[in-house]
Structure 1
Amino acid sequence: MRPVGQPRFPRVVDDVTVRLIAGVVLVLGLVALAAHQWWLYAVLAVDFILRAALGPQASPVARFVQIVVRPRVPAAKRPTAGPPKRFAATLGAVMTTAASVLWLTGTAAPVVVAIGVVMVVFPALESLLGFCVGCVLFGGLMKLGVVSEEVCLECADISLRRTATTSS
């Protein structure tokens, strides 16, 4: 049971906010890749870890988007299930942590670049097209029985999304 007041990942999130967060990740990923600023993967890794483990309220990128960017975007909230987005953040955490460790140890530079490409393509798909690769993988894991359907009951029930939309 989580302690009272501790942030957590919401069951339902605003898809517009999620896409804006992906846009920030895309920009950071492009800068890291184009300018070979691999230290940015460590920054992204910390942010992804905080977001996946504690929820968007603990993520500096998500907070920036919620406070500064989202209020300036006139689009109405569009509810979407939170657990697949948390899984996507976990994938981001794994990839950026791996890139950071490889960069810090000075090994496998081509792998760091390959991860960098993924960290541009995946957030670009999310931010520009609304296509979440992590969410698709999450759905596949549910179909295979690796992820219990109870983890994401709201994924299948749109009425829960309409009544419980929160900022992500």
Structure 2
Amino acid sequence: MTTFNERLPSATEFIQVPKPGRLRRIFAFPNPVNEFAARFTAGIVVFLALVAVITGQTWLVGLIAAGFVLRLAFGPRISPAALLSVNVLAPLLGEPRLVPGPPKRFAQGIGVVLSAAAFVLLLAGASLAGWTLIVLLVVAASLEAFIGLCLGCAIFGVLQRRGIIPAGICEECAKFSVQTV
């Protein structure tokens, strides 16, 4: 006789998308990812966010949030910033430098949370809180764009080593440490 707990799917089964199928192709995220393209995209985010902060243009924060949502959901196939980075800017640097995709997708998710929360706060009139989140986003995206330190990827690695994210999601990531940056 099986117990209730034996019939529950594992954490990995909840996270993984079924292998075949049209839905998976639509919501696919590349693995591996060209680090140069990711860094250029982060640079575009830095530029747009700084323009938004300097000019006080809330709609730009909405545009940044929309870009993060598109990249999180569809990878670089639909986001204008990612398309520019992948197809035009990154090839200028030559051969791609490939890095694991799951941490980059996790980082995009953090970007969605920060930028969407900032946009909602700005629309609600909580300007200081909204712009503070955008400044935090600028800091994180600047680290990625200018020195190649992806904070979302580092957080992903820590969560994976602690067992919160299953090791099977990205075995290479489980070995990540600050020394390997």
TM-score where L is the length of structure 2? 0.79
Are the equivalent residues in 1 in contact too, given 2:161–2:174 (CA < 8 A)? Answer: no
- Is 1:120 aligned to 2:138, yes or no? yes
Between the aligned partners of 2:100 and 2:93, the Cα distance in structure 1 is 21
Q: 1:56: Cα distance to partner?
A: 1.4
- Is 1:144 aligned to 2:166, yes or no? no
Between the aligned partners of 1:68 and 1:57, the Cα distance in structure 2 is 13
Q: 1:75: Cα distance to partner?
A: 3.6
SS in 1 for 2:26: coil
Q: 1:68: Cα distance to partner?
A: 2.9
SS in 1 for 2:139: helix
Moved more, 127-136 or 44-53: 44-53
Q: 1:77: Cα distance to partner?
A: 0.9
Are the equivalent residues in 1 in contact too, given 2:34–2:97 (CA < 8 A)? Answer: yes
Q: C-alpha deviations, 1:86-124, integer Å up to 9, x for none?
A: 000000001110011111222x21111211111211111
Alignment map for 1:6-155 (pairs within 5 Å)? 6-71=26-91, 73-106=92-125, 108-155=126-173
Identity over aligned pairs, percent: 39
Moved more, 91-100 or 57-66: 57-66
SS in 1 for 2:171: helix
Are the equivalent residues in 1 in contact too, given 2:157–2:173 (CA < 8 A)? Answer: no
From the CA coordinates, give the structure whose radius of gyration is larger: 2
Gap regions ≥5 residues in structure 2: 1-17, 176-181
Gap regions ≥5 residues in structure 1: 158-168
TM-score where L is the length of structure 1? 0.85
Change (3 A) 1:57 1:7: farther
RMSD, matched Cα:
1.7
Write out the 4+ residue segments of structure 1 that deviate beyond 4 Å after TM superposition.
none
Q: 1:9: Cα distance to partner?
A: 0.6
